[in-house]
A and B are shown apart, each in its own frame.
Chain A
Amino acid sequence: MSNWPLKTKLSIDLSTPGHHGYSFPKADVPQAPAPGKNCRSTKINLPELSELSCVRHFTRLSQQNFSIDAGMYPLGSCTMKYNPRVNEVTASHRGFTRLHPRTPAKYSQGALKLMFELENLLSEISGFSRISLQPAAGAQGEYLGIKMMRACLTDRGETRNKIIIPESAHGTNGASAAMCGYDVLPLRSNEYGLVDFAQLDELTKSGDVAGLMITNPNTLGLFETEIQKICKLIHDRGGLVYLDGANLNAMMGITRPGDAGVDCMHFNMHKTFTTPHGGGGPGCGGLGVSKTLIPYLPTPTVEKIPSGDDEYVLVENEEKSVGKIKDYYGHFLMMVRAYTYIRELGARGVKKVGEDAVLLANFIRKDLEGHYDIPFPKTCMHEVVLTDKFQVKNGVKTLDIAKRLIDEGFHPPTTYFPLIVSGALMIEPTETESLNMVEEFCNTMKLIAKEASEEDAFEKHFKDRPRHMAYARVNETLAARQLKLTWKDLK
């Protein structure tokens, strides 16, 4: 990352009155009289920069960012795979970008067809009967799933208020359940890190559980072998099963969650299907549903006209639908990217994604054995969880290992998650990394383990990391205490 001398200036501090970086058509109609009482009286304190100043400012900012394009992100459960550039080209076509969402169907057939076909592709990959592309991101997909489950149970005349969520689950699970008005019943894992079936049996005996939210493979990277049995138990007790699809990458072309009896699963297009993370969003969610939940799909849905000749239309689904959770149809321009990606892969490519992701993670598992504590060492899917147990004895913690990696050119893995393992380091290489790169990562991790075993390890190797980047350790405590959130606060 670069060391520009001007890097820390805010755009407002680079401002010169009268400068600007825009160019738009002048109005060729007579000027309207000034607004009366609603007129803005205060000048907006925005920067005034020429185009070159704008470009330079943001270019220098970009050079302070780590990115997939620049290096590896072994972030567990994030699936930071390469974002193909061909997706950016297809998503920037005028027919997609300048299309208004309420354009009549006859003038937006390409968009409707793409959505319809994408739903079919996802359906085939995941094994679910229907897909909704409306959710803006994974968390919204979760919310939609729970909402639809609730609608289904209400339709059956049930008023169950509890949802079971494993302690290993992602934080959004509990938050989404709460937004739908459910109380959360936590579920422990068994000694293998999997769902404790006996405890699940106990919890559901009362008959007032609406359902289970489960992640598969779970957040330890382990496939829930008993998934069918679990779904059957929940169904027999009158509930429904939601699957957190964050780890779908491990299953691509290998197994289909819909086949196991799951009622709904959210997609993270920005994980499995390469839509770019963009520094934190936009995501692109999606929800796959079983036949049971089809009537409750949000409105509108894209349908193919049966009599027509490759013609598509949006249909308002009023009757039992849960309604709308997102304006319009979802993040369409992200759908274009996901669609492009899946069409490039084909069936063989999809299968190779799953296989390669699992193979590379297992390479890491075997290679780091003995160097790091691996709580569940026998196997893993697309990600492996380590802990700092060996290193902590010598005063080196997970956080220190993470920050140490930065100076070696790697983004840290996921840390301190899942919460059920102390000092967790969750590593997911993804299949777009070459074995060379994965080996380099492992060698770096082994070097760090060696450093951590030396005398005075923390002082010598881990203190004040990163040491070689343009920025040293950022003071997060100060940020939370002083709460300066706009440049006005800096005056």
Chain B
Amino acid sequence: MSEIRPELFYTKEHEWIKKTNNPKVFQMGITDFAQSALGDVTYLELPELDSTISQNDVVGSIESVKSVSELFAPLSGKVTARNESLLDDPSPLNSSPYDDAWLLEIEITNESELSQLLGPEAYASVAQ
């Protein structure tokens, strides 16, 4: 059974979203289910700092030995922070997907998109 944190939101693409102290800024990463499916992560590509992203755009990729997965933007907005250390060593994505391996912080531009995110129960049925 993969781990699902009750305080987070999720997308169908196996990404988690977390509120920050700033009501307009949200943190994102990939779920335990995703890291398990990928296998050992070997490389990560993230969008540039300060770049503008739109919901559902492909904004990066996560590479493992046997596959490569696209990273989709869960929300539209501006990239205000990236987890730079992950770019050199992406292994925390496997060991600590919800804590050490946050990927991006996004300053959102469209609040209505938040209602499209899944709660932990809804995500649990996706992550079978």
A and B, direct touch (CB closer than 8 Å): yes
Mark A residues whose CB is within 8 Å of B.
476-477, 480-481
**C-alpha spacing A480/B64, complex, angstroms:** 8
Cβ of A389 to closest chain B Cβ, rounded Å: 16
Q: Which residue of A lies closest to B90 (CB)?
A: A481
Other contacts beyond A477-B39, A477-B64: 7, CB < 8 A? A476-B65, A477-B65, A480-B40, A480-B42, A480-B43, A480-B65, A481-B42
A481 to B65, CA, bound (A): 9
Which residues of chain B from 26 to 78 have any CB-CB distance to chain A below 8 Å in the complex? 39-40, 42-43, 63-65
| Chain A residues with CB below 8 A from B63, complex form | 480
Closest to B94 in A: A477
Query: Shortest distance in angstroms between B35's beta carbon and chain A's nearest beta carbon?
Result: 13
- The binding surface of chain A is classed by DSSP as helix
The total of chain B residues at the interface (CB under 8 A) is 8
Measured between beta carbons, the chain A residues less than 8 angstroms from B42 are: 477, 480-481
Nearest CB on B from A384, distance (A): 24
Q: Which residues of B contact A480 (CB under 8 A)?
A: 40, 42-43, 63-65
14 pairs of residues in contact across A and B, judged by CB atoms under 8 Å: A476-B65, A477-B39, A477-B40, A477-B42, A477-B64, A477-B65, A480-B40, A480-B42, A480-B43, A480-B63, A480-B64, A480-B65, A481-B42, A481-B91
Task: Give the complex CA separation of A477 and B64 in angstroms.
Answer: 8
Contact partners of A481 in chain B: CB under 8 A: 42, 91
With both chains docked as a complex, state the minimum distance between the C-beta of B33 and any C-beta of chain A, in angstroms.
Answer: 16
> What is the distance, in angstroms, from A414's C-beta to the closest C-beta of chain B?
14
CA–CA, A480 and B91, complex, Å: 12
Residues of A within 8 A of B64 (CB): 477, 480
In the assembly, what is the distance between CA of A414 and CA of B126, in Å?
Answer: 29
Among residues of B, the one whose C-beta sits closest to the C-beta of A482 is B42
Chain A residues in 8 Å Cβ range of B40: 477, 480
Minimum Cβ distance to chain B for residue A283 (Å): 23
Smallest CB separation, B120 vs chain A (Å): 26
Whole-angstrom distance between the Cβ of B76 and the nearest chain A Cβ: 26
Which residue in chain A gives the minimum CB-CB distance to B89? A481
Residue on B nearest A399 in the bound complex, by CB: B66
- Distance of B128 from chain A, by nearest CB (Å): 13
CB distance from A403 to the nearest CB of B (A): 14
The complex places the Cα of A480 from the Cα of B40 at a distance, in Å, of 10
**A476–B39 CA distance with the chains assembled, in angstroms:** 11
Determine the chain A residues whose CB is within 8 A of the CB of B39 once the complex forms.
Answer: 477
A64 to B39, CA, bound (A): 28
Q: Bound complex: CA of A477 vs CA of B95, how far in Å? A: 14
Q: What's the nearest-Cβ distance from chain A to residue B103, in Å?
A: 18
Leading 6 A-B pairs by shortest Cβ distance: A480-B42, A477-B40, A476-B65, A481-B42, A480-B65, A477-B65
Nearest-neighbour CB distance to chain A for B65, whole angstroms, equals: 5
Q: How far is the CA of A144 from the CA of B65 in the complex (A)?
A: 31
Most buried by A among B39, B40, B63, B64: B40
